[in-house]
């Protein structure tokens, strides 16, 4: 049986682990988007038979990933250019790319990051997108809220006896004299 795993040890200013690449540049940690060396610049070709929203999501998600993982505006801009080149190589029209890049920045209120590489606005964008819940986290939250709503509804059903016919609250500790329930 052939060994398919390669473990390397290194001491230095760069570290790559799973999908994370970190670099120490003059005491500042930089986190550009990590790309596996063997990975080819491939995304779903524009000419394939898929609904239009799939292509739109590819552009949006690629920029979202870049904004979440890039620690500064310069590394983000390099990744943005890389995304643009990959999209062009896969047949995406320049007008489509431009339109949906603008859409991403407009929706996230960060047009100056695209046009001026505004550092402060990028930092706000990065912080905002970094802590957005993922699709899986949103699903878990929805399930938790649904469970809490069910519990709350059950509690409401169990406590209906605590109100008299005039919708006045009755203390559960009371002896219920004079209430509708005591009659």
Q: How far apart are CA 50 and CA 1, in angstroms?
A: 40
CA-based torsion, 61, 62, 66, 67: positive or negative: negative
Instruction: Look at the block and give the residue holding tokens 């790309």.
Output: 35
Q: Helices 94-107 and 73-89: crossing angle, nearest 10°?
A: 150
Instruction: Look at the block and give the residue holding tokens 């070709």.
Output: 45
Q: How far apart are CA 52 and CA 132, in angstroms?
A: 25
Write out pLDDT tens, residues 117-132.
999 999 999 999 988 8
pTM of this prediction exceeds 0.95: no
125: nearest Cα among 141, 136, 134, 114: 114
Write out pLDDT tens, residues 13-56.
777 777 677 888 888 888 888 887 778 889 999 999 999 999 99
pLDDT reported for residue 11? 61
pLDDT reported for residue 75? 93
75: nearest Cα among 46, 34, 105: 34
Helix, strand or coil for residue 24?
strand
């Amino acid at each position: 049986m052939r060994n398919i795993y390669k473990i390397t040890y290194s001491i230095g200013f760069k570290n790559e682990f799973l999908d994370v690449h970190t670099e120490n540049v003059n005491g500042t940690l930089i986190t550009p988007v990590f790309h596996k060396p063997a990975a080819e610049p491939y995304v779903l070709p524009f000419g394939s038979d898929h609904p239009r929203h799939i292509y739109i999501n590819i552009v949006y998600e690629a920029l979202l990933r870049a904004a979440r993982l890039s620690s500064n505006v310069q590394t983000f801009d390099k990744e943005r250019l890389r995304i643009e080149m990959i999209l062009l190589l896969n047949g995406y029209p320049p007008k489509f790319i431009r339109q949906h890049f603008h859409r991403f920045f407009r929706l996230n209120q960060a047009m100056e990051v695209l046009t001026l590489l505004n550092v402060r606005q990028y930092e706000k964008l990065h912080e905002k997108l970094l802590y957005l819940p993922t699709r899986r986290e949103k699903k878990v939250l929805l399930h938790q809220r649904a469970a809490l709503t069910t519990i709350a509804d059950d509690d409401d059903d169990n406590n209906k006896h605590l109100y008299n016919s005039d919708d006045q609250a009755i203390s559960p500790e009371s002896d219920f004299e004079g209430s509708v329930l005591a009659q």
